Structure 1
Amino acid sequence: MAPTYKLRLVKGVKIAPSPTWLQIKLWTAGIRPINNVVDVTNYILVKYGQPLHAFDKNKIDGGIHVRSAKDGETFTTLDGEDRELASADVLIADDTKPVALAGVMGGLNSEITDQTTDVLLESAIFNPSRIRKTARRLVLHSEASQRFERGINYDTVETALNEAAQMIADLANGQVTEGIVTATDTPRVLPTIHVSDQSINKVLGTDLTTDNIKNIFDRLGFTSVNVNDGLDVTIPARRWDIEIPADLNEEVARIYGYDNLPVSLPTGRMGVGALTATQKNERAIRQVLEGLGLTQAISYSLTTADKAKMFLTRSSIETKLSFPMTKDHSVLRMNLLSGLLDDVAYNQARKVSDIALYEYGRVFFKDGEEQVRPTEVSHVAGVVTGNFVNKSWSHGVVKADFFLVKGMVEQVIRNFAPNGEVEFIADDTIKEMHPGRTAKVLVHGKEVGFVGQIHPVVEKQFKIKDTYAFELDFALLDSLPKNADQFTPISKFPSVQRDIALLVDESVTNDDVVNIIAKRGGAYLINTDLFDLYTGDNVADGKSHLLIHLHLLTSATH
C-alpha cells in the first residue's frame, strides 16, 4: 500500500498568512494561498513533485497507521463531503479513526486551522493503481492523486520532507523535532535495460555507433556499461517513466534531434490491397438493406444492464465496466435491437413516425465469470414502424407489418446463398417480442435469429408505437454452407400453372400446407406460392380460406 512512508513533527507553530514571495510563487503556479503551513506543502509539491500532507498533531489519537478501508466505511474529506469507501481504498488512520484518504485528500477531522500549534508532516509513496482507482471511483481527482498515479521519485521523498519541515519552522516560528519517523522505506531497485546500436538504428533509421549512444546516455545522467553486443543502461530513480527498450529509443531520438533523423521511404514488398471478409460482409449487408429502403444507424456498444439482457436467444452474463462514466453506459450490449428502439423513440418523440433503420455490429457474450474477455459476435438487426411507403398518385400506403419485415429477412438470407431452406416457426420464448406475431428464423435447421413485432409492454417502456423488428446472428449465418453458383438454362418446354383453393383450420400453418403439396407434387412441382388468405363472411368460424398458386413443369425438362 505504501512502499515509503515518513513523518516529521514541527512544534509550536503559529498559523498566519504566507509571506508575499511565497504567495506570488503559488499564484504563478495556479495555486491559491491558504496559510503558511499548507502553502509550504504546495510549494514543495511544485518544486519536487512530491505531495505532502499536514495533520494537526493535537487531533491525532495515538499513532498513525496505513490500512485498507472497510466496505461501506464513511469518511469526511477536506471539502466537507461524506465519502463511502471500499476495501480497495487506502486510509491513513490513528488509533480510533481515519484521518486521511491516502494519496487523494486529507480529512476534515485533522485539518490545519488557526488554532493549530503542532504540525505532523507526511511524505510518502502510495500504490499508483489503488490511488487511481480510488480517485476515479469517488470522482475526486486532486493534484496529489494525479502525482501519485504518474509516479514519484523515491530519492526526493525524505529531501522534500526535511525542506518542508524547515520552511514551516522558519515561516511559522516553530521548532522541528529531531529525527524522522519511518514506517516503511522500501528501497527501489533501479532497472537495467539492455539496448544495442543495431536495434536503435533499425528503429530510428540512423547510423549511430555504440559510443554515440553511450554519450547520449551520459548526457542524460544514465549509467551505461559496455557489453559484447550493446549497452546495459541503469535508469535513475527520477526517471520512473522508463521501463522498456522502446523508452530508451525515444530518449536517444529526443537528444539526437528529431530534425536529424533521416527521411526514407518504407521498405518491403507492397501487396495488392483487398477487403477483408468482415469488410465484404458489411458492405454486402449495407447494399441489401439500403436497397430495401432501410437507413443505417450506429449505436453505442455500451448500454444499461436491463437493455443488455433484452432480446436474448442464448444464455449469457453481462460484461460490466469496472469504472463506468454513467449508468447508461455501464455494460457491453448483448443485442442490437435495444439501441435501435432508442433511435425509434428519439425520432417518434420529435414527430417522425415513418422509420426504417438497420444496424450491423458486434454484440458481446460471456458464458461465466471465469471468462475474462467476452466473445464478440457479428449481428444485423432492423426496425420498421409507421408507413414504409407513403401514398402517391401511382400507389397506396404500405404500412409496416410482420410480412414486410419477414420479406426483408428472407432477402438478406438469400443474398448470402446458404445451403438449405429458410424456415419461419412461430415462437413465444422471447419475452420482449409479441408472442402471437413472432417467428424464429431457421436456415439448414439452425436458428439464426427472429422476426416479429415488439411486445406492447416493451413498446410502452420505450414510448414507441407498433414497431416490427428482426435480429440475425450474422456470424452463424455466414458460417453455414453456401450453394455454388449454377447456371440453369431456360426450359424449351411450356410450363403449367394452376390455382387451387383450400379450406383449412386456423391452426394449420401455411408451412404445413406447402410441405404436403411438395410431397404430393413430386418432380413436376417447381414452385408453390400462397397469394391470398381470407377469413370472415361465408367462412366458418375457426376456418381459413387459402388460395395457392402452383407452377409445374414436365419431368422431360429436368
Structure 2
Amino acid sequence: MLISLNWLNEYIEIKDKSISELENALTMIGQEVEKIEKKYEHLNKVLTAKIVEYEKMPESDHLTVLKVDNGKETLQVICGAPNHKKGDIVAMAQIGATLGEDFVIKKGKIRGYESNGMLCSMSELGIGEESDGIIIFPEDTQLGVPLNKLLDKDDVVFELEITPNRPDCLSYIGIARELSAYYNIPLKEIKKDVSEIDKKNDTEIKIDSSELSHRFITRIIEGVEVKKSPEWLSKKLEAIGMKSVNNIVDASNYILMELGQPNHVYDLDKIDKNISVKYATKGQKINTLDDKSLELDTDDIIVSSNGNAIALAGVMGSKDYSVTNETKNIMLEVAHFDSMSVRKTSRKYNIISESSYRFERRVDEDNFNTVIDRLANIIVEISGGKVLKGIKDTTLVNDKLNSSELSFERLNRFVGKLIEKERVIEILKSLEIEVEDKGESLILTPPSFRQDLLDEQDYFEEIIRIYGFANIENVLPKLDIKKEEIVDTTKLDYFVKNICYSLGLNEVINYSFIPKNAYEMIKREYKNIIEISNPITEDFAVMRDTLMYSLLKNAKDNFNRSFKDIRFFELSKVFNNENGNNNETKKLGVILAGAKEKTIHNKETSYDFYDIKGIMEEVAEKLSLNSYRILRSENMSFHPGRSIDVLMGKDVIASLGEVHPDLLENFNLEGKSILYFEFDLDKAKKYMKNKFVYNKISKYQSVNRDLAVVVNKGVLVGDVVKQVERIDKLVKKVELFDIYEGEGIESGKKSFAINILMRDDNKTLEEKEINAVMDKIVKKLEKDYLAKIR
C-alpha cells in the first residue's frame, strides 16, 4: 500500500511530524513501513532558468549554443530540442542532477563546445508523457526555483506492508484513523453531500444468492462530460503510481484509495437497467478492461445486464460497457462479492487488480452509502452532471458484529501494568469502538470496518499498540512454578525423524492451515474440523487433521518443477474437534511419487505398494511395534484393494497404500504412481512403553533363504509375513519380493515369494538350525493357510 504524505494530510493534520517520527508511529501501531521514497527528490537540482543568448551551432542542423541564467549564474548549455528561443524560461538540470535511475548530469563537450547542464523535457524528468521539445514555462516564472517546489511535487511516499487481517488499512482514511488514535489528532471531514434531482433512479438489481453477494447498490448520474482529470486528481494518482485515464475513471480510483472500497462505473447507455449478480454460463465471453478476451466457467461470478457479462465480479469490468470520451450517462456500483470466489477467479485468469486485492480481504458493507455518495460528489464536481434521486439497494445479508466483555483485572494481568480506566476507554473510543461501561468491565462492539475484533484478547492488543509498547516496563512474570515430569516427546520426534532420514526421505514443513475444499479433494469427510474464524486467506481456512493434502500438494509442486523422484516425509501436529474438545495429535506422513533411481539395467521403475509398506515396516520395527495386525483399508483416499490399515490392539495406528486415481485428478497428477503412509504417533506411543530400543550390531553373519508359496487369493500376504516373523527368534526380517497371479497358477490362487533373514547374535548358524526353522515355517503355512510350496 503506497501512501502519499501530501494526500494523507488532507484527512489528518500531520505536517509538523518528521518523516522518521511518522515511520516510527506507523511501525508502533502495526503498519510496517517497507520503504520510504522522497518523490521527485531529483527535481531539487533542476532549476528554472532563462535563455539569455541563442546561437546556432556551426555545421549542425539542430544543435544550439545557449547562455542560460539560473538566477545565480549564467552558464553555457548545448541543446538539441526544436522548440526554444531567446527569452524562454526553461527547466535546467544542474551538474550533479540525476535523471531516470542512473543518468547523472556532468560537465561535457559537444563538438568542442562546453555544456554545463541540460535543458529538459517533461518525459526526461519523469513527470509527463514523451514530447518533442523541452519544457517552456510562462515568461513571469521566477528564476532559480527548484522544480519540485514550482510544480508542487515535494512529496514523500510510504510503502506499507498491510497485514491480511486489516483490510480497513488499505485506504487513506484507514491509515489516517490509525494515526488519529495514536496522536490523538481529530480527523478532517470529507465532503460527501449529494444534490439530487427529482428524476428517480430506476435500476433494478437481482442477486441470485447470498453466496455470491451480500449487498449491491447503484446511483445514476446523467449529463457528465468525460475529459482530462484536473491536475489535483491526476497528481494524487501519479504520486502512488496510478496512471490517469480520464476524470470519471480517475474519480473511481481516487475513491478506491481514499475509502478502500472497490467501485465501478458503467456507461449507462450501453447496459440495461435490470442488473443481476449470478454465475456465468459455461463458455460465456467477456472482454476485460486490460484487453483480455476470456471464456468463463460456471463458478465465475459476473455482473450481468441483458444476458451479457458487464463485469467479472470483484475482479475487473468489461471494456465493452466502460466509460469512453463519448459517455454522457453513467451508473455507479458499490457492492460486496464473495471473497473466496473473487480470489479463485482472479488467480485463474491471472488478473490481480486493486479491487480484487480488497475483495479477497473483505469490504465494509455498512459503508456503501458513504462510498457511493462520495464518488457521486467527486464526479459531479469534476465532470458536471445531475444525480438522479435515490440509491437502489439490494441487501441479502445484514451481518451483525458481536460484542465482547473486557475485564480490567484480566487486562492489567495481561499487560503486567495498571492502565487507568479512563485511558483505556479513551483509546477504545479513538478507534471508533462502541464502549458500554459496566464498572469492573466494559462491553465492546467493534465498528463495521473492524471485523477482526472478535474477543477480549483482540481488544487487549488494540489497547497496547495505541498505549505504546515503550510505555510498558519490562518486568519478570510472577508465576507459580512447580516441577513437572519431563516427557519423551522430543526424543521420540528426533528418533522418528532419524529413521526417515536413514530411509532416504526428505523432510518438508508445511503450514497447519489448509483450504476448506481440501477435504473434498482428498475424498475425506468434512467432520470434526476446526475452522479459523478470521483466516488470513481462504487457503488457510481450517486446521488440518491429516498431512495428506499438504504432501500431495508438495508432490504436485515438485512435479511441476520437473523433479521425478519424490520421497518426502513430514512430522507434525494435526488438529480436530471431537466431542466438543479441540485436540491435537502428532502424525508422520510419508509420500513416494514418480520414478525410483535407475536400476542396474538402466530402467526407471515406478514406486509401488511394497515400497511404502517397506517404509512402514521399518518404522514399526525401529519403534518396537512388532505385534501389529494388518487389515484391508476402507479409506476412500486410497485405491481399493491396494491399501491397508495397521492395528495395535483396537487402535488403527497407520494407514497406507496407493493414492486413489480420482483423487490424483484433483491435483492434476493423473497417471502418476503415488504412495502414501500416515502414522499416528500418539496412538502408537502407548504400545512403545516410552522406550527406544537400540540393538547392538551382531558380529555373526546372517543367512538368507527364499520361499515361494501358493495360497488362496483372499489370503492377506501381510498376515503371512507377520506370522513368519514371529515363528522363531532366529528370524530377524521377512521381506516380500514377488507376487503373481495368472498363467501357471490355479484359478482363485496367487503365488508370492518372501526372503527370510536369519541370524543368531551369539554364534554362527549351522545348516541344521537353518533347515529346522525353514521346516517350521513351511508347516505353519501349510496348516494355517493351506499353502503349497512352489
- Give the alignment's TM-score, normalised by structure 2: 0.45
Q: CA deviation at 1:55?
A: 0.9
Aligned to 1:554: none
Match of 1:60 among 264, 271, 284: 271
- Counterparts of 1:146-161 in structure 2, within 5 Å, are 146-148=357-359, 149-152=361-364, 154-155=366-367, 157-161=368-372
What one-letter code is carried by the residue in structure 1 that aligns with 2:441? G
Aligned equivalents of 2:426 and 2:294: distance in 1? Answer: 54
- Secondary structure in 2 matching 1:213: helix
- Secondary structure in 1 matching 2:442: strand
Aligned equivalents of 2:721 and 2:313: distance in 1? Answer: 75
> Does the 8 Å contact 1:409/1:470 carry over to 2?
no
Match of 1:333 among 548, 551, 569: 548
Q: CA deviation at 1:477?
A: 8.6
- Counterparts of 1:7-156 in structure 2, within 5 Å, are 7-11=219-223, 13-61=224-272, 63-70=273-280, 72=282, 74-76=284-286, 77-80=288-291, 81-86=293-298, 89=301, 91=303, 93-122=304-333, 124-127=334-337, 130-139=338-347, 140-148=351-359, 149-152=361-364, 154-155=366-367
Residues 442 and 178 of structure 1: is their aligned pair in 2 closer, same or farther, counting only changes over 3 Å? closer
Aligned to 1:214: 425
1:416 aligns with 2:623: yes
- Counterparts of 1:25-424 in structure 2, within 5 Å, are 25-61=236-272, 63-70=273-280, 72=282, 74-76=284-286, 77-80=288-291, 81-86=293-298, 89=301, 91=303, 93-122=304-333, 124-127=334-337, 130-139=338-347, 140-148=351-359, 149-152=361-364, 154-155=366-367, 157-172=368-383, 174-184=384-394, 192-220=403-431, 222-237=433-448, 239=450, 241-270=452-481, 279-288=490-499, 293-299=502-508, 333=548, 359=569, 361=571, 378-379=588-589, 412-418=619-625, 420=627
Residues 131 and 473 of structure 1: is their aligned pair in 2 closer, same or farther, counting only changes over 3 Å? closer
**CA displacement, residues 80-110 of structure 1 (integer Å, 9 cap, x when unaligned):** 332524457252x334433223433222231
- Secondary structure in 2 matching 1:177: strand
Aligned equivalents of 1:299 and 1:482: distance in 2? Answer: 25
**CA displacement, residues 20-39 of structure 1 (integer Å, 9 cap, x when unaligned):** 23211110122110011111
Aligned equivalents of 2:723 and 2:588: distance in 1? Answer: 33
- Secondary structure in 2 matching 1:115: coil
1:478 aligns with 2:687: no
Aligned equivalents of 1:345 and 1:46: distance in 2? Answer: 37
**CA displacement, residues 198-235 of structure 1 (integer Å, 9 cap, x when unaligned):** 23212222212322322334544555343233333454
> Does the 8 Å contact 1:195/1:230 carry over to 2?
yes
Aligned to 1:312: none
Residues 280 and 162 of structure 1: is their aligned pair in 2 closer, same or farther, counting only changes over 3 Å? same
1:6 aligns with 2:213: no
Aligned equivalents of 1:374 and 1:481: distance in 2? Answer: 19
- Secondary structure in 2 matching 1:67: strand
> Does the 8 Å contact 2:280/2:296 carry over to 1?
no
Aligned equivalents of 1:341 and 1:90: distance in 2? Answer: 31
Residues 242 and 289 of structure 1: is their aligned pair in 2 closer, same or farther, counting only changes over 3 Å? closer
> Does the 8 Å contact 1:194/1:233 carry over to 2?
yes
Q: CA deviation at 1:420?
A: 3.9
- Secondary structure in 1 matching 2:277: strand
> Does the 8 Å contact 2:586/2:680 carry over to 1?
no
What one-letter code is carried by the residue in structure 1 that aligns with 2:458? D
- Secondary structure in 2 matching 1:113: coil
- Secondary structure in 1 matching 2:245: coil
Aligned equivalents of 1:345 and 1:103: distance in 2? Answer: 30
> Does the 8 Å contact 2:505/2:569 carry over to 1?
yes
- Secondary structure in 1 matching 2:443: strand
> Does the 8 Å contact 1:7/1:180 carry over to 2?
yes
- Secondary structure in 2 matching 1:18: coil
> Does the 8 Å contact 2:219/2:388 carry over to 1?
no
Residues 2 and 8 of structure 1: is their aligned pair in 2 closer, same or farther, counting only changes over 3 Å? farther
> Does the 8 Å contact 1:336/1:363 carry over to 2?
no
- Secondary structure in 1 matching 2:247: coil
Q: CA deviation at 1:159?
A: 4.1
Q: CA deviation at 1:178?
A: 4.1
The CA RMSD over aligned residues, in Å, is 6.1
> Does the 8 Å contact 1:422/1:441 carry over to 2?
yes
Q: CA deviation at 1:250?
A: 2.6
Residues 297 and 20 of structure 1: is their aligned pair in 2 closer, same or farther, counting only changes over 3 Å? same
What one-letter code is carried by the residue in structure 2 that aligns with 1:478? A
Residues 177 and 205 of structure 1: is their aligned pair in 2 closer, same or farther, counting only changes over 3 Å? same
Aligned equivalents of 1:125 and 1:244: distance in 2? Answer: 28
> Does the 8 Å contact 2:300/2:312 carry over to 1?
no
Residues 260 and 448 of structure 1: is their aligned pair in 2 closer, same or farther, counting only changes over 3 Å? closer
What one-letter code is carried by the residue in structure 1 that aligns with 2:341? K
Aligned equivalents of 1:45 and 1:512: distance in 2? Answer: 69
Q: CA deviation at 1:348?
A: 9.5
**CA displacement, residues 431-479 of structure 1 (integer Å, 9 cap, x when unaligned):** 999x9xx9999989999889999xxxxxxx7799xxxx99685659936
- Secondary structure in 2 matching 1:37: helix
Aligned equivalents of 1:549 and 1:341: distance in 2? Answer: 49
Q: CA deviation at 1:335?
A: 11
Aligned equivalents of 2:398 and 2:731: distance in 1? Answer: 84
Aligned to 1:328: none
Aligned equivalents of 1:234 and 1:512: distance in 2? Answer: 65
> Does the 8 Å contact 2:569/2:588 carry over to 1?
no
- Secondary structure in 2 matching 1:68: strand
What one-letter code is carried by the residue in structure 2 that aligns with 1:416? L
Q: CA deviation at 1:380?
A: 5.8
Where does structure 2 lack aligned partners over 5 or more consecutive residues?
A: 1-212, 528-536, 541-545, 577-582, 600-608, 633-637, 659-670, 692-702, 712-716, 735-743, 746-752, 757-766, 774-790
> Does the 8 Å contact 1:10/1:169 carry over to 2?
no
> Does the 8 Å contact 1:285/1:412 carry over to 2?
yes
- Give the alignment's TM-score, normalised by structure 1: 0.60
Residues 259 and 111 of structure 1: is their aligned pair in 2 closer, same or farther, counting only changes over 3 Å? same
> Does the 8 Å contact 2:427/2:467 carry over to 1?
yes
What one-letter code is carried by the residue in structure 1 that aligns with 2:245? I
Report sequence identity in percent: 21
Where does structure 1 lack aligned partners over 5 or more consecutive residues?
A: 310-314, 326-330, 367-372, 389-401, 426-430, 454-460, 486-498, 520-524, 532-540, 552-558
> Does the 8 Å contact 1:418/1:483 carry over to 2?
no
**CA displacement, residues 297-323 of structure 1 (integer Å, 9 cap, x when unaligned):** 125779xx9xx98xxxxx96899xx97
Q: CA deviation at 1:18?
A: 1.4
> Does the 8 Å contact 2:247/2:382 carry over to 1?
yes
Aligned to 1:369: none
